[in-house]
């Protein structure tokens, strides 16, 4: 496997710290508001990495945190007139609601900052003892000048940063780039006892503390959005390595942003779409597919048009499943083949290999999806040749199995066509029940038998106006939701 490592700026062969085991930490969210599609991207990307490592047979341990104490949470609490921990709880619930819907699995450990105050204090104390940090008016700062490798992740130089720095001038700091490990709390703010008085942890220290506790001093993969490279991950490296004296993380992986009109989607610009808003218009599988159809490090331009294309692609898949299922239910007593058989057979033989090759190359989900659609095209072509017999049913069944298997790594393509159409009916507000549709189909069937084409076409038109497309097949009429 090759993974792009932000630290070295190259794709590298993945060699775990311990053979057969992978330990990954991904920065979760600060729980002060609803998640937007950008948060979903990060969550989906790391979820797929986890699924793929497990698919490859690794013993995988995944930690994803919640930042549940921070300025934004405190501000939100003031604004809403509730306690800070109620804010955190509320948005943790919202996070789970969204991520569960999107098919993002839970991490093995989901630690919260406030549950690791003891560990945080221990590290801060250790850093002070080692001379890497200093106390000033009840706060503790990390002294960046004392960590010679500061800037190695974000590839910047301390002097350059200071030159045009847009950093708050703070008289208590020895150097403007020094950052808070521990913050003295103001009156009325949440606070914990510490050797430096009442206070709360700085932002970066929690991830060092929680990863150290749950994954150890050195672990394999640490990830998050590309905007966390500096200062968050840079600071984590400084704290952790200064504290343990050991390398912190082997591979740093960062996902790209979602953009709107080419600009980064962000809270401050106000150009964001929440997961809930998008779920009102599109099914969760569509969102997932959309996010995985571009490589995780590239930017993705968000638009309804893009989501509609993703929806059409998924629909193509389920339409094919329906077709293979119809085929498998047919009489297979006669052996009949066609020239496409060889192509399909070859592709089936090397399909998982191609899938793995794509995923092994820095999790190229876009290519993997392309491979799946190649198989879909070949199987459709094969079915057009009207094959029959034991061998063809086996090949068709294998096709379905392989797509399900690889789809499960991406967590897409894992429903029945009926479930997909039901989901579409819901999201597109089709004002008809499945029974209504079946009744119309029956009515049209009588008309067709009587060769009353005008009547038959009228029924079809009526359904089409409501978003239901009919498909006449050899042994009956099927329906689907127009995408």
Restricting to residues 313-342, name those near RNA by CB under 7 A: 313, 316, 319-320, 323
Residues 60, 54 contacting (CB under 8 angstroms):
yes
For RNA, the binding residue among 16, 201, 225, 417 (CB under 7 A) is: 225
125/234 with CB nearer RNA: 234
- In contact, 32 and 91? CB cutoff 8 Å: yes
User: How many C-beta atoms lie closer than 10 Å to residue 13's C-beta?
Assistant: 8
What region does 261 belong to: left with phi over 0, alpha with psi -120 to 50, or beta? Answer: left
Please state the closest distance from residue 364 (CB atom) to RNA, in A.
5
> Distance between CA 12 and CA 8 in Å, rounded?
9
Please, which residue, 245 or 465, has the CB nearer to RNA?
465
Q: How far is 173 from 20, CA to CA, in rounded Å?
A: 44
Nearer residue to RNA within complex by CB, 88 or 470: 470
**Cis preceding-peptide flag for 231 (omega within 30 of 0):** yes
Among 100, 193, 227, 277, binds RNA (CB under 7 A): 227
- Phi first, then psi, for residue 470 (nearest 5°) are -100, 145
> Is residue 31 within 8 Å of residue 95, measured between CB atoms?
yes
Nearer Cβ to RNA (155/174): 155
**Interaction residues for RNA, span 251-310 (CB under 7 A):** 255-259, 262-268, 293-295, 298-301, 305-306, 308-309
Please pick, from the candidates 184, 238, 383, 468, the single residue that binds RNA as defined by CB under 7 A. 383
470 touching RNA, by CB under 7 A:
yes
Among 118, 325, 350, 473, binds RNA (CB under 7 A): 473
- 12-20, 52-60, 111-119, 362-370 -> range binding RNA (CB under 7 A): 362-370
Contacts 24+ apart (CB under 8 A), 45-49: 45/223, 45/255, 45/291, 45/296, 45/363, 46/223, 46/255, 47/103, 47/104, 47/105, 47/411, 48/292, 48/363, 48/365, 48/409, 48/410, 48/411, 49/24, 49/221, 49/223, 49/253, 49/363
Q: Which residues pair with 13 in a beta bridge?
A: 2
Tell which one of 20, 81, 164, 188 touches RNA (CB under 7 A): 164
Q: Which of the residues 193 through 212 are near RNA (CB under 7 A)?
A: 203
- Cα 99 from Cα 40, distance rounded (Å): 7
Task: Decide: helix, strand or coil at residue 2.
Answer: strand
Q: How far is CA 220 from CA 25, 46, 194, 394, in A?
A: 8, 14, 32, 41
Return the residues of window 79-118 that contact RNA according to CB under 7 A. none
- 250 near RNA, judged by CB under 7 A: no
Question: Is 213 an interacting residue with respect to RNA (CB under 7 A)?
Answer: no
Asked if 2 is part of the footprint of RNA (rule: CB under 7 A), the reply reads: no
Interface with RNA, residue 472, by CB under 7 A:
yes
CA torsion sign for 38, 207, 132, 135 is: positive
Residues 144-163, interacting with RNA (CB under 7 A): 154-157, 160-161, 163
- Counting Cα atoms < 13 Å in the Cβ hemisphere of 42 gives 21
Query: Residue 268 Cβ, how far from RNA at the closest point, in Å?
Result: 5
Query: In angstroms, rounded to a whole number, what is the distance separating the alpha carbons of residues 321 and 324?
Result: 5
Site string for RNA, 46-75 (x = CB under 7 A): --------------------------x---
Strand pairing report for 219-225 and 249-255:
parallel
12 binds RNA (CB under 7 A): no
By CB under 7 A, the count of residues binding RNA is: 84
When asked if residue 440 is in the footprint of RNA (CB under 7 A), the reply is no
Task: Please choose, out of 27-35, 47-55, 112-120, 280-288, the segment that lies near RNA by the rule CB under 7 A.
Answer: 27-35
- The residue among 39 and 125 lying less far from RNA, judged by its C-beta, is 39
Minimum CB separation of residue 103 from RNA in Å reads 18
Taking CB under 7 A as the criterion, the residue among 42, 240, 411, 440 binding RNA is: 42
Residue 176 to residue 155: CA distance in whole angstroms? 18
Instruction: List the one residue from 191, 279, 357, 366 that touches RNA (CB under 7 A).
Output: 366
Q: Does 420 contact RNA by CB under 7 A?
A: no
């Amino acid at each position: 496997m090759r993974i792009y490592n932000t630290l070295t700026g190259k794709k590298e062969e993945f060699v775990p710290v311990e053979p057969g085991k992978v330990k990954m930490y991904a920065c979760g969210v600060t729980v002060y508001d609803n998640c937007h599609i950008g948060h979903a991207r990060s969550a989906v990307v790391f979820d797929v990495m986890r699924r793929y490592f497990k698919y490859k047979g690794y013993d995988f341990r995944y930690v994803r945190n919640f930042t549940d104490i921070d300025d934004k949470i405190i501000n939100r609490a003031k604004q809403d007139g509730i306690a800070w921990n109620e804010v955190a709880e509320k948005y943790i619930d919202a996070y789970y609601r969204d991520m569960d819907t999107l098919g993002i699995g839970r991490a093995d450990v989901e630690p919260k900052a406030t549950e690791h105050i003891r560990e945080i204090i221990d590290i801060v104390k250790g850093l002070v003892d080692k001379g890497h940090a200093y106390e000033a008016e009840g706060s503790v700062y990390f002294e960046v000048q004392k960590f010679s490798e500061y800037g190695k992740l974000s590839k910047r130089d301390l002097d350059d940063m200071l030159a045009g720095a847009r950093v708050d001038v703070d008289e208590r700091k020895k150097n403007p780039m020094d950052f808070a490990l521990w913050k003295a709390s103001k009156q009325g703010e949440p606070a914990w006892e510490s050797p430096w008085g009442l206070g709360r942890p700085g932002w970066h220290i929690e991830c060092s503390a929680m990863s150290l506790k749950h994954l150890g001093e050195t672990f394999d993969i640490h990830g998050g959005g590309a905007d966390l490279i500096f200062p968050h991950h840079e600071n984590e490296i400084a704290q952790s390595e200064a504290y343990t004296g050991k390398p912190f993380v082997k591979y740093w992986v960062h996902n790209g942003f979602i953009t709107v009109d080419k600009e980064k989607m962000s809270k401050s610009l106000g150009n964001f779409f929440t997961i809930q808003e998008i779920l009102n218009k599109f099914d969760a599988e569509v969102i997932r597919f959309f996010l995985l159809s571009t490589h995780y490090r590239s930017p993705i331009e968000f638009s309804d048009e893009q989501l509609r294309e993703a929806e059409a692609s998924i629909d193509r898949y389920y339409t094919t499943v329906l077709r293979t299922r119809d085929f498998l239910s047919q009489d297979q007593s006669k052996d009949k083949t066609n020239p496409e058989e060889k192509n399909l057979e070859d592709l089936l033989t090397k399909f998982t290999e191609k899938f793995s090759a794509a995923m092994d190359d820095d999790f190229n989900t876009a290519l993997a999806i392309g491979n799946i659609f190649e198989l879909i095209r070949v199987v459709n072509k094969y079915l057009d040749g009207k094959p029959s017999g034991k061998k063809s049913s086996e090949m068709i069944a294998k096709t379905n199995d392989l797509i399900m298997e690889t789809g499960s790594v991406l967590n897409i393509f894992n429903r029945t066509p009926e479930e997909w159409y039901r989901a579409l009916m819901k999201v597109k507000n089709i004002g008809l029940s499945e029974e209504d549709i079946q009744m119309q189909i029956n009515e049209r069937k009588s008309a067709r038998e009587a060769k009353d084409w005008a009547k038959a076409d009228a029924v079809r038109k009526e359904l089409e106006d409501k978003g239901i497309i009919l498909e006449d097949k050899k042994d009956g009429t099927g329906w689907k939701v127009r995408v």
